[in-house]
Amino acid sequence: MTVAYFQFNAELNDFLPRPKKQVKISYSFTERASIKDVIESFGVPHTEVDCIKVNGKNVDFTYIVQDEDNINIYPISATNLIQSKINLRPKRLNIISFVLDIHLGKLATSLRLLGFDTLYRNDYDDEELAIISHQQSRILLTRDKGLLMRSLVTHGYYVRSTNPQQQIVEVLRRFDLFNAVSPFQRCLRCNGLLEPIAKEFIVHQLPETVQLQIDEFHRCQDCGQVYWKGSHYERLQQFVESVLSNGN
């Protein structure tokens, strides 16, 4: 019988059932298989993997698993995603931008509020998401492991939390983005950038109380949505502060 031994390191264990966490796993096989396929058969998307060592030597995802191989798999961390040499990542990301699957609408709004370039539509299908991520080098955020197992997706992240408030903190931590936060720069509706606009140009669109009380406005360059510091602003400001307090 042919057998190989797999050890998943650090947060890659999040994907494994309890008996397989933090232990060397024996994997018996009869058919030729790439290491990408075997890793993903354990439920670990390749997008979470930064480095694979077989018998102490680095290999890429096409490596064919051999009898008696000792395999160590290491996760991507915030530092090696952005800064250092990356073994299995096809290219370094200098600019962080995102595309999100349809279930992460609240996270998308939070990312836009904090200034991050975030594509989101509630009608993107899996194929479109994979293509957008690939073509635009956008990090695909999803809770669908199968989507991250597509070969086309090279930069992706499985969002662990199901709570939107925790998800935004998780993503900022993972990609080391607390210092990159630049709130109130983007349209929450469409991701367009905001620009200052003189009141006289948009006064006809405003509710009467706003016409009387507010003088400073911004408008989305893409969809034309007008923003001002109204009653909702304080709530958003508090949200931003509560998120940023996790970065200390």
Q: Which residues bind Zn ion (CB under 5 A)?
A: 187, 189-190, 192, 220, 222-223, 225
C-alpha span between 240 and 168 (Å, rounded): 10
Q: List the strands of the sheet with 226-227, edge to edge.
A: 194-197, 217-220, 226-227
Q: Minimum distance from CB of 189 to Zn ion (Å)?
A: 5
Q: Minimum distance from CB of 68 to Zn ion (Å)?
A: 57
> Which residue, 111 or 220, has its beta carbon nearer to Zn ion?
220
Structure tokens at 71: 């395999």
Q: Minimum distance from CB of 248 to Zn ion (Å)?
A: 32
> Which residue, 33 or 236, has its beta carbon nearer to Zn ion?
236
Q: Minimum distance from CB of 242 to Zn ion (Å)?
A: 25
> Which residue, 47 or 191, has its beta carbon nearer to Zn ion?
191
CB distance 138 to 217 below 8 Å: no
Q: Minimum distance from CB of 158 to Zn ion (Å)?
A: 29
C-alpha span between 128 and 148 (Å, rounded): 13
**Which amino acid, one-letter code, is at 142?**
T
C-alpha span between 59 and 64 (Å, rounded): 10
Q: Judging by DSSP bridges, how do beta strands 226-227 and 217-220 pair with one another?
A: antiparallel
> Which residue, 78 or 223, has its beta carbon nearer to Zn ion?
223
> Which residue, 100 or 153, has its beta carbon nearer to Zn ion?
100
